[in-house]
Chains A and B, each alone.
Chain A
Amino acid sequence: MPASSSSPSSASPAAAVPAAWSPRYIAALVIGILVSLHLTVITLALATILVFMGTIAQVEMGLYGALQKYFQCFFVMWQVPGTEFEIPIFPGGYLIGSVLLMNLICSHFYRFRFSWSKLGIWLTHFGLIVMLAGGLMTDLFSVESFLSLDLNQSKNYTESHRQAELALIDTTDSKSDTVYTVPQTWLEPGRTIDDPRLPVKLRVNQYYPNIGLNARSADNSPPPGTPPLDGLGERLAWKGIPESNRIERPNRAAAVIEVLPSGSAGTSVPRIGAWFVADGLPGQELKVGDKTYKIVMRPKRYYKSYSMTLTKFTFDRYAGTEIPKNFASTVRITNPEHHEEDRNVLIYMNNPLRYMGETFYQNSVSNEEKTSILQVVRNPNWLLPYISCGMMTIGMLLQFGTHLSRYLSNKKRTERTARAYEFVSPSATPNSLL
């Protein structure tokens, strides 16, 4: 016998019914819907279906694709075949999450009166509010990147897995480089990037979020309209391919960039040259006046105030097999700005390093086991899930614990009576028939 622990639930407003469709009536109706248990049930059912669809979709579109289409959106859109037209067919993750959150908050303000017997429900629900809010914040503020280190290699930056950037590196000074970067989102075909912070003007001739790359030959030629190129581009052919949404198949962004002297106006100005740049290609040299630059497309970098060096890397297998048992990286952290820090840390599977607001995890190995890849996550509210989970777990234990003890004590009471009856007519009639 369930306890009626939460109170009334009818969708119709319980308050006095005002004249039809007056603003007060509509407000009451909206509130009535917002606080109703019907809404809770519907949202939970829709959420189950959405998660199911999002899981199945991962087979076709990969994790990122499914995330964007089903969870990180307000509506799941469906493209009408043969057209560009998209219509919403199902509520998306953001919509369901926010409706659930509103429902929860509103009903607590509207219906629930705190009492100790309802502590379990309160804890569970507030834990859920914290969890949903925390989930949204993680979605908005967390940054994931990668740090891939060869043995004895040092880096003072981590790299994005998904985003690229166009970098122009001034290598004239032999002591230090000056790096100018242009984010991937600026690279639209036909756009001229004229920013006072840049030493030159850049015109984007072509841009691809992902390409297939080949050596140039009779069968493989670059797309029509490609200007004569300087550097490596002369020997290469490429083709735009659809963006990959799978973790295991990263995109390779590419562009054809025409470099113009800065301060020049109009399009007739003689350009300095044109370069084909793609993720994975080495930097290509270009000279502007007395300065030497390198132009390169590379994963977006996040620079740090410290550097990390891979001093040791081990990859254990189970004896007599190829099944990996453990990867472990010994990393030396050098941070002159932080108490002259210089120490070794060991990072291995299931044992990450938390450092300067970021967490470094052993992710994988590559390059014939010579390169260690660490995943780096900055998640300012990593603590929230722990708090919310604790609250919800305790809440549910309280709530279901009271149910159970009530059930058992009821049982005992009815059982005494039942036993009495049983002994009046033992097995005279079958107890029950399935």
Chain B
Amino acid sequence: MSSYFPSELPPRPAPRSSTVELLGRWLPYVVAALALAYIISAVPLPKEPLSKTGEKYDLNEVGRLQILVDGRFKPVDSVARFALVAMSGRQLYTDKPAPGTTENAEGTTETRTLLPAEWLLNVLARPSVANNYKIFRINNPDILGLFGWQQQTGVKYFSFNDLKPFLKQIDDENAKVQEIRRKAQAEGRQPSEVDLKPFQRDVENLYKVLYLYQQLKNSIMPEDSPGFKRELEAYVQILPAGLEAAAAKKQGQPFDEKAFNALMQFIARFDSLAQTSKLNVAWPVDGVTSEEHWRSVGTSLTEDTPVLNKVHPAVEGWTTVLEAWKQQNAASFNGEVIKMMSITGAKFPNIAHKCDLEQRFNNFAPFYLCMALYTFAFLLAACSWMGFSEPLRRSAVLLLFLTLIVHTAGLVIRIYLQGRPPVTNLYSSAIFIGWAAILLGMFIELTSRDGIGAAASALIGFTTLSIAHFLSLEGDTMIMLQAVLDTNFWLATHVVTVTIGYSATFLAGLLAVFYIIRGVFTKTLDVPARKRMGGMMYGVICFATLFSFVGTVLGGIWADQSWGRFWGWDPKENGALMIVLWNAMILHARWGGLIRERGMAVLAVAGNIITSFSWFGVNMLGIGLHSYGFMDSALFWLVAFDCTQLAIIFIGMFPFEAWRSYEAELGIGRGPGVPRGSGNGLSPKPVNATSADEEKSEAVVYEK
């Protein structure tokens, strides 16, 4: 920023107070140092708690263990976090004494946030403890009423044991909902078209998460097993005789019925385990299956074990770890975890590395961090308009830079983990829209240096990351892509470009909101400020038009390449087209002199409504190839957002007599004589033109 100080500038005048000057000079660095300290403090993994006997369990190491779930490799840490999010809406669980009691689920009085892996281990190995964790969130008073409970303030989380007496009722209510779905499907309606009442939807969801919980409990070893390790030993022992008997029976020869029946019993037991489990922990056996083909414990026992003649090392390892955890045997626990890690690390260095990184990424939670930092940057930028402007503004810019680095790092790590371009679903689009808008806003800030670009960046950053945060509550944010979308080239070109178009349109809209509020409610929007902000809006709209156009067209080319039609009037395509048309309209109206800064601002705010429709609204239509998922609560927020934008448009249409910034020019209020532009140090020359003069001069420019 201070890279070029023209040499002919007058010497810096003596500051009024050296303390203030000193503070002004050092404030940005202090802010940056604090932010840096905050960022760095979030990097290391949390310390593992010591057990009651003072031993340490390598829980962070367990959190890194690789599992193939839903088509991708996740560390245990992610598996636990996504399960917790689905059940409680939070990634972490804090175990504390229930209201009215003094004991938590562990039977102690402490309040402690569990490591995700720790929670999962308890679910897998110590259900008696895990069943007491209050992780099921129920907000719906009707569901509580179903159980005969009254809604109490502050009590919305329930444990499995709390819900256990009502499982039958939940099952029945869910069956009714499924009946509605079946009927709708028979009538040819899509799942998203089925109209469910809030109660029905919540019951269905509660059923789903309870099912998930039960499934999780039985995914490595059966919950009812008295000692799974012993069971496995018995299985391996009878296996040769059992297989021999089975082979003999197949060929119609006499066979050992006892051995055969024993084997069948085991197979049936493991099969039912395989049915419920989605956690594929057993890596491929050399020469038997391909590298991607990991298996669950149940499947591995019935398919790998007869080939290997022993239990798969992963199954062996997991069983040992869980039993050690159950018996609180730290030495055996730690030893087995290290053993498994070293095997996978050597066999699948790539997968192990990614899982390792993902665990750190989860813990670092860069986007959550950025949300806090953007808020702070916005406050700094906003305060810079009140006074002490330059130091505060510089602090905001520096802070924004730091935050942008974290934001970018998060984005890059996601790209690396997924092996995909940045935007693959709604969640990642929110993160990317914020990122691109901040880049643009920072560019504006660096060219106009009045805190507006910085404030707009920070506000957009905060908003989009908040949206991303709410979207992340739907579970895994890196799920695999449907076949049609499985093309990195088009994801990298079309999707990214069109998303930048969204970003720029939102940024123009936000600048327009600033313009209107500043003009109507403050006196600071003088002629140079109008010109400057008008220039910003204009530039960003040009940028938005270019990117949304190119993005839309690339989408057309993708469609032509992949489906044979350039344009299919798909809702998502239409949304992008609307943005192009609207931006093109604003530009033509501006070129034609039909509107000036104020008109541009009003139309740009309307652009916000259009962009929010095509970003979010079309997904709520539940139709079209592009729809990522149906969200009801988001509909409320979308409508709320659109209403605020309409209100701002309405305010923006007030006659200039009602704009405080025009009071002086129009001779209202304190009367004429208040020089405009006097409060702005950036105005290159005193401006004497009246508003009428300005309009005339504009008209000359546009109408020649």
- A positions within 8 Å CB-CB of B: 1-2, 4-10, 36-38, 40-41, 44-45, 47-48, 51-52, 54-56, 58-59, 63, 66-67, 71, 135, 138, 142, 144, 248-249, 317-321, 323-327, 349-350, 352, 359, 361, 363, 375-377, 379, 382, 385-386, 389, 392-393, 396-397, 400, 403-404, 407-408, 411, 414, 416-434
Q: Could you say which of A349, A408, A434 contacts B517, with CB atoms under 8 Å apart?
A: A434
Is B40 part of the contact surface with A, judged by Cβ < 8 Å? no
Is B374 part of the contact surface with A, judged by Cβ < 8 Å? no
Interface-side segment among B209-217, B260-268, B577-585: B577-585
Is B483 in contact with A63, judged by CB distance below 8 angstroms?
no
Is B679 in contact with A432, judged by CB distance below 8 angstroms?
yes
Is A434 in contact with B385, judged by CB distance below 8 angstroms?
yes
Interface string of B61-72 (1 = CB under 8 A from A): 000000011111
Is B592 in contact with A249, judged by CB distance below 8 angstroms?
no
Is B24 part of the contact surface with A, judged by Cβ < 8 Å? yes
Q: Could you say which of A41, A359, A427 contacts B594, with CB atoms under 8 Å apart?
A: A41
- Given contact pairs A2-B590, A419-B6, enumerate 10 new A-B contacts (beta carbons under 8 Å): A6-B588, A6-B591, A44-B585, A45-B582, A385-B557, A427-B388, A428-B681, A433-B522, A434-B385, A434-B522
CB distance from B71 to the nearest CB of A (A): 3
For chain B, residues 564 to 621, give those with C-beta under 8 angstroms from any C-beta of chain A.
Answer: 564-569, 571, 574-575, 577-578, 581-582, 584-585, 588-594, 610, 613, 618, 621
Is B542 part of the contact surface with A, judged by Cβ < 8 Å? yes
Is B366 part of the contact surface with A, judged by Cβ < 8 Å? no
Given known A-B contacts A319-B71, A434-B522, A135 and B567 have beta carbons under 8 A apart: yes
Is A4 in contact with B385, judged by CB distance below 8 angstroms?
no
CB distance from A233 to the nearest CB of B (A): 25
CB distance from A4 to the nearest CB of B (A): 5
Is A55 in contact with B571, judged by CB distance below 8 angstroms?
yes
Is A326 in contact with B486, judged by CB distance below 8 angstroms?
yes
Q: Could you say which of A2, A48, A249, A397 contacts B578, with CB atoms under 8 Å apart?
A: A48
Q: State A58–B702 Cα separation when bound (angstroms).
A: 41
Question: Mind listing 5 A-B residue pairs with CB under 8 Å?
Answer: A38-B594, A377-B565, A396-B549, A421-B683, A431-B682
Task: Give the 9 A-B residue pairs with the shortest CB-CB distance, closest first.
Answer: A318-B71, A37-B592, A377-B564, A44-B585, A9-B592, A321-B71, A389-B553, A55-B574, A417-B684
Is B197 part of the contact surface with A, judged by Cβ < 8 Å? no
CB distance from A190 to the nearest CB of B (A): 31
Question: How many residue pairs at the A-B interface have CB separations less than 8 Å?
Answer: 270
Is A421 in contact with B539, judged by CB distance below 8 angstroms?
no
| Chain B interface residue count, Cβ-Cβ cutoff 8 angstroms | 110
The residues of A that contact B57 with a CB separation of less than 8 Å are none
Interface string of B454-483 (1 = CB under 8 A from A): 010000000000000000000000011011
Is A421 in contact with B684, judged by CB distance below 8 angstroms?
yes
Closest to B533 in A: A432
Closest to A58 in B: B623
Is A54 in contact with B539, judged by CB distance below 8 angstroms?
no
Q: Could you say which of B68, B581, B591, B701 contacts A51, with CB atoms under 8 Å apart?
A: B581
The residues of A that contact B701 with a CB separation of less than 8 Å are 4
Interface string of B519-550 (1 = CB under 8 A from A): 00011100001010011001100110110011
Q: State A190–B385 Cα separation when bound (angstroms).
A: 80
Q: State A361–B565 Cα separation when bound (angstroms).
A: 10
Is A431 in contact with B10, judged by CB distance below 8 angstroms?
no
Is A434 in contact with B524, judged by CB distance below 8 angstroms?
yes
The residues of B that contact A249 with a CB separation of less than 8 Å are 188
Given known A-B contacts A8-B704, A66-B569, A420 and B9 have beta carbons under 8 A apart: yes
Q: State A327–B483 Cα separation when bound (angstroms).
A: 8
The residues of B that contact A135 with a CB separation of less than 8 Å are 567
Q: State A352–B681 Cα separation when bound (angstroms).
A: 62
Q: State A283–B148 Cα separation when bound (angstroms).
A: 62
Is B557 in contact with A431, judged by CB distance below 8 angstroms?
no
Is A431 in contact with B389, judged by CB distance below 8 angstroms?
yes
Is A4 in contact with B702, judged by CB distance below 8 angstroms?
yes
The residues of B that contact A349 with a CB separation of less than 8 Å are 483-484, 486-487, 562
The residues of A that contact B684 with a CB separation of less than 8 Å are 414, 417-418, 421
CB distance from B490 to the nearest CB of A (A): 8
The residues of A that contact B386 with a CB separation of less than 8 Å are 430, 433
Is A44 in contact with B70, judged by CB distance below 8 angstroms?
no
Is B703 in contact with A9, judged by CB distance below 8 angstroms?
yes
The residues of A that contact B571 with a CB separation of less than 8 Å are 55, 58
Is B95 part of the contact surface with A, judged by Cβ < 8 Å? no
Is B679 in contact with A379, judged by CB distance below 8 angstroms?
no
The residues of A that contact B451 with a CB separation of less than 8 Å are 431-432
CB distance from B697 to the nearest CB of A (A): 12
Is A418 in contact with B294, judged by CB distance below 8 angstroms?
no
Is B292 part of the contact surface with A, judged by Cβ < 8 Å? yes
